[in-house]
Structure 1
């Protein structure tokens, strides 16, 4: 069941990046959700609750013109789930493109995502790509 929550969330996330509508994402996240992003990222920090998540997605949209999941592998399918995602991205400010992996540890409880901890391969490369 946890994998189906993530599959639905990833589809809603793609819809958000296409339309800017956050509403479809809300149902996949617990109200007290916590996202931990590496401090060296343009959108680094701890993001809490639905309002924090909405601000995070807005910051991601300001940072990336393109942020596509090339492929994903579910390495652990019970909570906490572990997902390896290969990303193709293009920075909005510079037009620079990157390809990189992200490993995410995702906790699901009661059919909703309660915590996400993404681990980026090279946060310095992301900072360079996004800096003018």
Structure 2
């Protein structure tokens, strides 16, 4: 398998684990010094580090976000980076809110070492979360 394909596969595995809700498996696909950096403008913004950081962050924010769907639109890679483009779909009594997201991954030795998600409308997402309660 080409390195590009292997890097895409590890990112895809992360998305599959998140969709399945079995966050404990995330610890097996990240490095010991893993880091995720969320936008400061979000209620869960800031950096989290360590082997369990991704699992712990998702266990904390999924109940806040409560997406009704995650649609992976495209994924591309090079020797040590992956970018995934996705839509987070949210629903409430006022309809649907779609948040486009670009997620930047750094890959080292077949494991994810860093993720930086770029939410295209952090104020809109923050307002939606506050409105939904």
The TM-score with structure 2 as length reference comes to 0.83
The Cα of 1:13 is off from its aligned counterpart by 1.1
**Following TM superposition, by how much is the alpha carbon of 1:52 offset from its aligned partner in structure 2, in angstroms?**
2.4
* Partner deviation per Cα, 1:1-27 (whole Å, 9 max, x = no partner): 1011111111111112xxxx4222111
Shift of 1:46: 0.3
Kindly state the Cα deviation for residue 62 of structure 1 after the two structures are TM-superposed.
2.3
CA distance in 2, matches of 1:49, 1:73: 27
Given candidates 16, 20, 26, the residue that maps to 1:15 is: 20
Contact 2:84–2:104 at 8 Å: present in 1 too?
Answer: yes
Q: Which residue of 2 aligns with 1:105?
A: 104
Unaligned runs of 5+ in 1: none
Instruction: Let me know the Cα RMSD of the aligned residues.
Output: 2.0
**Alpha-carbon distance in structure 2 between the residues aligned to 1:86 and 1:66:** 10
Q: Which runs of 5+ in 2 are unaligned?
A: 1-5
Q: TM-score, normalised by structure 1?
A: 0.83
Do the aligned residues in 1 keep the contact of 2:8 with 2:77 (CA within 8 Å)?
A: no
